[in-house]
C-alpha cells in the first residue's frame, strides 16, 4: 500500500460509527484476545471496514477497533496491529495510533508479547515498560511533519510516569507481582540469534519484541501520554534450552492473557485521566 493512511477520513468514519469516543485506548498484541472478550457492550469495527486500513495478516491478530466497557470504564480497544515484518510501510504500522489521536482519545496503553532477556523475567510474567530501544533503525516521523505532530519530539521519558505508577498500584491492589523493564524493538520476523540476544543484553534491554516502539514515537510526537505492558511469552533465544515458535508465543498469550486483562481492568479508571499528574 503506497498511499498514506487517510487519518482524517478514517477518524471521521470511526467517529460516525462508534457510540462515543472514550478517553482511553488500549492496543493489544499477539494472542491477547482475552481483552476483547472481557469488554461489555462491545461494538466491533473491523479494520477492513475502515477506509484506508488494510486487513491484518498475522495469525492471532483479528484486526478491529472495539468499543466497550472494561469494568466500569469506557475504552476503545485496537485489537490487532500492523507490523514492519508484514512488509508494510511504517505509515501503515502507526496509522491506527494517528487515527486514535485524531479521533480524540487522550491516553494510550500498549500491550505486546515479548521475549525475556532479564534473568528474573519468566514466561507468564507481566512487565510494565519503563523505557525503549528503537532497534528497527527507522522512524515513522520521517518525511513531512504531520498535522498535530512535532518534528523533534522529546523521548527522554517516553512512558508516562503517572500511568506507570497507576499500573504498579493496580498490580499491588490485585496482589500480582510486576517488574519494570526496557523493551527493545527489532524488525523481525526471524527470532533473534543467540549472539543477538547477548548483544541486546549488553545494550540494556530486558525484553525483546517486534512492535510498539514506532507507535509510541508517534504518540510522543502528538503529546499523547502512553503506558505499555509486555506479556513475557518466552525466554529470549539462547536463554532457554528449547527452540522458539510463534505457536508457543500465542499459547502463552492465551494462558497469561487474563492477568493482563485484570491489571488493565483495575487500572483503567485512572489510566484514562493520565498525564504526569500523579
Ligand atoms: N523475540 C522477538 N519478538 C518476540 C519474542 C522474542 O523472543 N517473543 C515474542 N515476541
Q: Which residues pair with 69 in a beta bridge?
A: 40, 74
How many CB atoms sit inside 10 A of residue 53's CB? 22
3-class SS of residue 90:
helix
Distance between Cα 144 and ligand 1 center (Å)? 32
In a domain, 1, yes or no: no
Tell me the catalytic residues: 30, 61, 83, 85-86, 113, 210-211, 234, 246
Is the confidence at residue 110, as pLDDT, over 50?
yes
Nearest CA residue ID for atom 9, ligand 1: 114
Q: Report the pLDDT averaged over residues 116-145.
A: 94
Would you tell me the crossing angle of helices 7-17 and 95-103 to the nearest 10 degrees? 60
Q: How far apart are CA 212 and CA 243, in angstroms?
A: 24
Indicate the range of 12-26, 151-165, 249-263 predicted with least confidence: 249-263
Which is higher by pLDDT, 115 or 237?
115
Is the confidence at residue 145, as pLDDT, over 90?
yes
Is the confidence at residue 179, as pLDDT, over 60?
yes
Atom nearest to 116 CA in ligand 1: 7
Domain CATH code at residue 68: 3.40.50.1580
Q: Specify whether the CB–CB gap between 135 and 186 falls below 8 A.
A: yes
Q: Specify whether the CB–CB gap between 166 and 273 falls below 8 A.
A: no
User: What pTM value is reported for the model?
Assistant: 0.92
Is the confidence at residue 160, as pLDDT, over 80?
yes
Q: Which of 209, 232, 242, 255 to mutate to test the pocket of ligand 1 (most atoms within 8 A of CB)?
A: 209
Residue with cell 495510533: 97
Distance between Cα 267 and ligand 1 center (Å)? 26
Contacts of residue 37, Cβ cutoff 8 Å, sequence gap at least 6:
none
In a domain, 90, yes or no: yes
Per the prediction, the chain carries an average pLDDT of: 89
Q: Specify whether the CB–CB gap between 9 and 49 falls below 8 A.
A: no
Q: Report the pLDDT averaged over residues 171-196.
A: 94
In a domain, 276, yes or no: no
Q: How far apart are CA 249 and CA 123, in angstroms?
A: 9
Q: Domain total for the chain?
A: 1
pLDDT of the residue at 202 = 96
Residues with CB under 6 A from ligand 1: 113-115, 191-192, 208-210, 233-234, 236, 244, 249
Distance between Cα 240 and ligand 1 center (Å)? 13
What would the grid cell of residue 70 be?
472494561
Is the confidence at residue 9, as pLDDT, over 80?
yes
pLDDT of the residue at 277 = 39
In a domain, 174, yes or no: yes
pLDDT of the residue at 276 = 46
The secondary structure of 31-46 as a DSSP string is T-THHHHT-EEEEEEE
Residue 198 CB-density burial (10 A; 0-12 exposed, 13-18 middle, 19+ buried): middle
Please give the residue range of the domain that contains residue 216.
7-271
Q: Report the pLDDT averaged over residues 238-253.
A: 74
Kindly report, residue by residue over 51-69, the tens digit of the pLDDT.
Answer: 878 766 555 456 899 999 9
In a domain, 131, yes or no: yes
In a domain, 262, yes or no: yes
Rg of the chain over CA atoms, in angstroms?
A: 17
In a domain, 248, yes or no: yes
In a domain, 209, yes or no: yes
Amino acid at each position: 500500500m503506497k498511499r498514506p493512511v487517510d487519518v482524517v477520513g478514517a477518524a471521521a468514519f470511526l467517529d460516525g460509527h462508534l457510540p462515543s469516543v472514550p478517553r482511553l485506548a488500549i492496543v493489544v498484541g499477539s494472542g491477547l484476545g482475552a481483552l476483547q472478550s472481557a469488554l461489555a457492550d462491545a461494538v466491533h469495527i473491523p479494520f477492513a471496514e475502515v477506509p484506508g486500513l488494510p486487513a491484518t495478516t498475522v495469525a492471532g491478530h483479528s484486526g478491529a477497533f472495539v468499543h466497550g466497557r472494561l469494568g466500569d470504564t469506557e475504552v476503545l480497544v485496537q485489537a490487532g496491529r500492523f507490523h514492519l515484518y508484514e512488509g508494510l510501510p511504517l505509515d501503515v504500522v502507526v496509522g491506527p495510533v494517528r487515527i486514535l489521536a485524531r479521533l480524540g482519545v487522550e491516553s494510550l496503553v500498549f500491550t505486546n508479547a515479548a521475549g525475556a532477556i532479564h534473568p528474573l523475567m519468566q514466561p507468564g510474567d507481566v512487565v510494565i515498560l519503563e523505557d525503549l530501544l528503537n532497534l528497527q533503525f527507522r522512524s515513522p516521523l520521517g518525511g513531512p511533519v504531520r498535522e498535530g505532530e512535532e518534528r523533534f519530539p522529546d523521548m527522554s521519558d517516553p512512558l508516562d510516569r503517572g500511568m506507570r505508577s497507576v499500573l504498579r498500584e493496580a498490580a499491588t491492589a490485585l496482589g500480582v507481582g510486576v517488574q519494570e523493564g526496557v523493551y527493545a524493538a527489532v524488525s523481525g520476523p526471524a527470532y533473534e540469534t543467540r549472539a543477538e540476544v547477548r548483544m541486546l543484553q549488553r545494550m540494556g534491554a530486558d525484553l525483546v519484541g517486534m512492535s510498539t516502539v514506532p507507535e509510541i514515537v508517534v504518540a510522543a510526537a502528538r503529546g499523547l501520554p502512553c503506558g505499555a505492558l509486555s506479556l513475557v511469552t518466552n525466554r529470549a533465544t539462547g536463554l532457554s534450552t528449547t527452540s522458539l515458535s510463534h505457536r508457543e508465543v500465542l499459547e502463552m498469550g492465551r494462558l497469561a492473557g487474563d492477568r493482563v486483562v485484570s491489571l488493565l481492568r483495575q487500572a483503567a479508571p485512572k489510566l484514562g485521566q493520565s498525564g504526569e499528574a500523579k
